[in-house]
Structure 1
Amino acid sequence: MPNEKCILTTKDFTILEVMRDRCPDPDDALARLLKRKLESAVVMFRDDVPENVATLNSRVTFSVNGRDPDTRIISHDQMNAPVGLFLPITILRGLALLGLSEGQEISLINYDGAEERIRLEKVCYQPEAARREKQAVDRLAEPARGRPKLRLIRGAAQDRPQPMHAGPDGFDDPGPSAA
């Protein structure tokens, strides 16, 4: 696909480069997909990655060839956790999902020679977005330090002139001697 692009964090990009360099067979399906990913990558700092992009350790919902969706966590390598929880990037589907945005599809030829169309339905959790959210909450929760941001100024109600009473003839001018 000529206009295929993926968004990778600097860390994810570096991991894929190392995987490509260590790949024993450059014509292997995984090696070909690694090459595609690296050539089409838009690399961003983790604070700049949109929250709808699948990054390492993201929990994603995806479908293969239009079948029922599945939810997994994209992991770096095989995990010794409950079966079906993780989808490592050392497997074609895991690598294919890495860097995709919600609604984006990618097609690949699997190890059996069959074409698979993988669609990222939703990013349910992304560690980079969760980190940004936590930092924002922490900033709001920090107590004020230093000088207060607001300063109370005595209002005009305190400085009102005192009313003067009019004399018995209704004239309230005290005359030049008052000056």
Structure 2
Amino acid sequence: MSTETCILTTKDLTILEVMRERCLGRDDPLAPILKRKIESALVVLRDDVPVDVATLSSRVTFRVDGRDPDTRILSHDRMNGAAGLFLPITTPRALALLGLTAGQDFLLPDHEGREERVLLQKVQYQPEAARREREALANFSAPAQREPSLKLIRGAIHDQPRLERIGPDGFDDPGPSAA
């Protein structure tokens, strides 16, 4: 990795820590990757993760050793769906991509001992950014809350009409106790 730093949400870090605890020992090919990821992690809340960081359930475009780009969704585990759509973090490449920022790479030892360069080109979709966008749109489009008012016109005796406040339910009858 060009800079040994990755950005992980608290949820993603927790998942990686559980995966590391469940490793089958030093022979597990994911163990050294998990160690590097956890030790180099900058942990942020989901509302603070930059939009160009690969998080769990993000759709990412990446290259391996400069070959043609591939686009997949980083998933927690093997998903039943269209073949080639998901890339589970239980695989070395997906684990390498998790926490990277667009343009960042990760040097990954392959099964033959050679290193392959996994480059995150672009984050096409990130669930945390989409959630923030939905919330911002909902807050923007929600009408401002104001108390209802009623304009009473009393007749010729009073010169100016005045605004009278009514209850939040729009009903201003005080009931039989007022009689």
* TM-score bracket relative to the smaller structure: 0.7 to 0.9
1:104 aligned partner, one-letter code: Q
User: Hey, what does 2:15 align to over in structure 1?
Assistant: 15
C-alpha RMSD over aligned residues:
1.4
Shift of 1:2: 8.4
Distance 2:17 2:124 in 1: 26
Aligned ranges 1:14-163 → 2 under 5 Å: 14-146=14-146
Shift of 1:57: 0.2
1:63 aligned partner, one-letter code: R
Distance 1:3 1:46 in 2: 22
Residue segments in structure 1 that go unaligned for 5+ positions in a row: 149-179
Residue segments in structure 2 that go unaligned for 5+ positions in a row: 149-179
Distance 1:77 1:87 in 2: 8
> How many residues in Structure 1 have an aligned counterpart in Structure 2?
148
Shift of 1:28: 2.5
1:111 aligned partner, one-letter code: H
Structure 1 or 2: larger helix share?
1
2:51 aligned partner, one-letter code: E
Distance 1:84 1:39 in 2: 30
1:6 aligned partner, one-letter code: C
Distance 1:126 1:20 in 2: 24
| TM-score, L = length of structure 1 | 0.79
Distance 2:17 2:84 in 1: 26
Structure 1 or 2: larger strand share?
2
